[in-house]
Every structure is written in C-alpha cells, then in structure tokens.
Amino acid sequence: LNIAPLLSQLAQAEPAAAPPAAATSMPPAASKTLPDIIIKMLEIKTLFRYIDHQLLAEPFRLALELRVQMKDIANYGNEEVLSGSLNVQGILRIAEQQCAFDLQGRIAPIIDPQRLSCELSGSMQEIDLQAFEPLIGQYGITGGTVHGTAAILCHQGRFDPDKSLLRLTFNQIQVSAEKQAQIPGGRLPKSLQLVVPLKGTRNHPEIDLGGLIQQTLFSPDMFEAVLKDVLHDQIKSGGAAEPLVGEVLKKTSTSSPDKVLDLNKALQGVFGK
C-alpha cells in the first residue's frame, strides 16, 4: 500500500505552526526610595571596646562609651545648610583611668551618609599619660597629663585640616634620660601646647599626633619655651636669671646655627608690655 501521496497531501493541508511569541520585556522595577523624613529627636548609646595584643606582652585595652543626641535630622533638603543639632558625649576608659569629653555642634540633612557635613566643638578632661604607656613609650615620654579642646569641620564627608584642629595641653611632661639629652636646653617647659590638624575623610580620618610630638619636643624651637620657664622661675623666686639662662644657653649647642632667636617674641608676656 503506497500511502506517500496521502501523507504529502495531509502535510500540505496542515496549517503552519504559529511562530513563538516574542518574549515581552518587563519594565524595569522602580527603584525604592525612602520618603522624606525629619526626626525631631534621636538618642543613641553605644560602647566600643578595643584590644591590641601587639603593643606589649599584656594586651592594651581601651573602652569608649558614647551618647549621641540629634535633633531635627532630615534626609532631604539643602546639604550645605546645617539645620540640625548634634551633641556627642563620651567617656574614655583606659586601665583604671577615665576622662570625659563633650562635643556640641550642627549637622546638615543626611541625604548621602558618605557626604556628611557637620561642625563640632568641645573639650576633653585631663587624663594621666601613664594610661597611654604603650603608645607614649616609643617617644620616650614616661609621665605627665593632657587635656584639650577640639574644633571639627566636616564638609561633604571630608575634614577641613585648616579648621579641624585638636588643641592639646600637656603638663609636667617627663621623658627618659636618653630623650632628655636630645632636647635643646636639656629640660621641658612645665606646659606644652600642641595643635593637631585632623584631615582625611569621615571613613578614614588622619591624625599624625606622634610625628607632631617628635617634631615639637626635639626641635630647636623648644629652646624659646624653655627660656621662658627659666625666667619665670627665677623672677618668681626673686633670684637672678643670668646663671640659669647661661646654663640653658650652653645646653642648646645642638640648635641649628641658622636659627635666629627673637628675644622680644620669646620673652613676650614674661615682663609684661
């Protein structure tokens, strides 16, 4: 039985299969955004613990308690306008010592956290430098106290180093005998002030406190501060200043010969106007 002609006729009569429907493209999902929000008041309390096992044989431990209060914080508006308020209070605990600090300031709307803008200012209580022994030991410092003030300006996530300054006051600084021999005059002033700039970004702040301490303590400029202290001590005790001044001058032989000492500037405030 030859059925080939029949199959051929059936194939011609069968309607052509419809081409597959083209895949319909879905519209892109709309990106989800937060609605405009303003927080009238927000308080955050947190505790940070830091442990370093590399500084010394015994771990160096540090704890920081923070309390942050914010008012009128928005996620919309002008990023250049500091419309909200910010208060940061904290306690730094090291070993058996602690010191408190308080910063007050303003903050702009937080539209992009990476481009945060704010300004803060405040102060830190005095703390014994012995608490930072693993850190100060590398600079030959063995004792003393420090307290300070801070002014911080962060614009779009970056600190302004000209306006973000930590002003630290060191009192009764003690150094090792080896480091003392390197100090012009052989002695340190009773009080020493350092201005430390804060730079970098909010995520990666940069503070070169160690380099500034090294540069200040062991520079010829230290002679002027030493000379002031010598004269103050002698005038206060009613003795003659010449012997001690001469002794200090002899010990400053390490000073650069190009360094010109302006006595009017160095002695400003010692004898009054």
Per-residue pLDDT tens over the stretch 69-119: 999 999 999 999 999 999 999 999 988 889 999 999 999 999 998 899 999
The encoded tokens of residue 60 equal: 């160096």
Rounded alpha-carbon distances, angstroms, from residue 104 to 88, 153, 187: 6, 12, 38
What is the predicted pLDDT for the residue at 218? 60
Assess whether pLDDT exceeds 90 at residue 159: yes
What CA–CA distance (Å, rounded) separates 252 from 247? 9
Per-residue pLDDT tens over the stretch 19-28: 555 555 555 5
Q: Among residues of the chain, what percentage have pLDDT more than 90?
A: 38
The encoded tokens of residue 96 equal: 């058996």
Residues with Cβ within 8 Å of 259's Cβ and at least 6 positions away in sequence, in order, are 220, 221
Task: Using alpha carbons, select from 159, 157, 163, 164 the residue that is nearest to residue 200.
Answer: 159
Per-residue pLDDT tens over the stretch 38-63: 999 999 999 999 888 876 777 888 99
